[in-house]
Amino acid sequence: MIWHMGWLGRVVRTLELIKFSHTVFAMPFALAAMLVAAGGVPAWGILGLILWCLVTARTAAMAFNRYVDWDYDRANPRTEGRQHLASRRLALALTWVALLGFIAGTWFLNVLCFMLAPLAIIIILSYSLTKRFTAFTHFFLGLALAAAPMGAWAAVAGDLRTWPPWVLAFAVLCWVFGFDLIYSTMDAEFDARAGLHSFPSRFGIPAALRLAGALHLLAWLALGAFGLACGFGWRYAAGWGLIAGALVFEHRLARTGDVARVNAAFFQANAFVGLVLLAAVGVEVFVGGGSNIR
């Protein structure tokens, strides 16, 4: 029993190290793209491989982030508690294992996914290094998560020569770019002291919140364009309206400057956005007669 508790504790600590719960951000968008591309649920083997690639790619990205930011996380009062969760060596080992798992998953999907795997790896790992030289590091996080719906679409369709996945990817890029700006306001002072680049530390928190608002408006409009491109109807429009409410709620919390409320805005509101989008797409696909891609 003691051995099992020790093993379980290590698993829990590792999942916390890579913030596994935050998988809820990218996965709904990838699954939404998958449903539209397949016109429903694809073969179970394809679904399993898509989930495998999503989890391994995100695990690699987060473990690499923990590895390269280890000293910064130890010095940052907000993140210093992560140091007890694992070792830097474990973070590096987990990165390699996850990357190999991701490449293997793309191999079993199709040729396009396997050929795009190196580009995807560059994108998902580069974010962790960008804070060293650009205040727009948040853009690269958005780019990394935007790869998820593109990859899911490619896994099902075998090509990307249609508009919907690109429109959805743009929406995800703007959405993540915006909410990471909000989240990074909590580290603005530390980033400035540590010589790290972030938009709030360079241009100020008010400017970061204004940019986040503009980006979330773009994201919302792009999600509307995605629905139009797929030929969705009022069911999707209802979800689109709920997403607008969640984004407004997020920005109202962010403007308070309260750390606990910013955390709530980051996790609860953004998880809601992804889940509502997936639900709206699912209802259209299974109840509304599917997509009518234009």
Specify the CATH class of 10-286 in words.
mainly alpha
Compute the average pLDDT of residues 241-245: 97
pLDDT of the residue at 1: 43
Residues 212, 157: Cα–Cα separation, whole Å: 33
pLDDT in tens, 154-169: 999 999 999 999 999 9
The pLDDT mean for the chain works out to 87
pLDDT of the residue at 69: 86
Q: Where are the domains of the chain?
A: 10-286
Compute the average pLDDT of residues 147-158: 97
pLDDT in tens, 173-189: 999 999 999 988 888 88
232: closest CA among 164, 154, 155, 153? 164
What is the band of 192 on the pLDDT scale with cuts at 50, 70, 90? confident
pLDDT of the residue at 288: 77
- Provide CB contacts within 8 A for 1, sequence distance 6+: none
Percent of the chain with pLDDT over 70: 84
pLDDT of the residue at 2: 44
pLDDT of the residue at 255: 81
Using the predicted structure, report yes or no on whether residue 119 has a pLDDT greater than 70: yes
pLDDT of the residue at 83: 54
Compute the average pLDDT of residues 88-103: 92
Q: How crowded is residue 35: how many other Cβ atoms within 10 Å of its Cβ?
A: 23
Compute the average pLDDT of residues 186-200: 87
Structure tokens at 15: 């999942």
pLDDT of the residue at 3: 41
What is the band of 4 on the pLDDT scale with cuts at 50, 70, 90? very low
Percent of the chain with pLDDT over 90: 64
Q: Which residue has the higher pLDDT, 260 or 125?
A: 125
**Residues 144, 124: contact at Cβ < 8 Å?**
yes
**Residues 75, 82: contact at Cβ < 8 Å?**
no
Q: Which of 17-26, 195-204, 255-264 has the lowest mean pLDDT?
A: 17-26
pLDDT of the residue at 73: 77
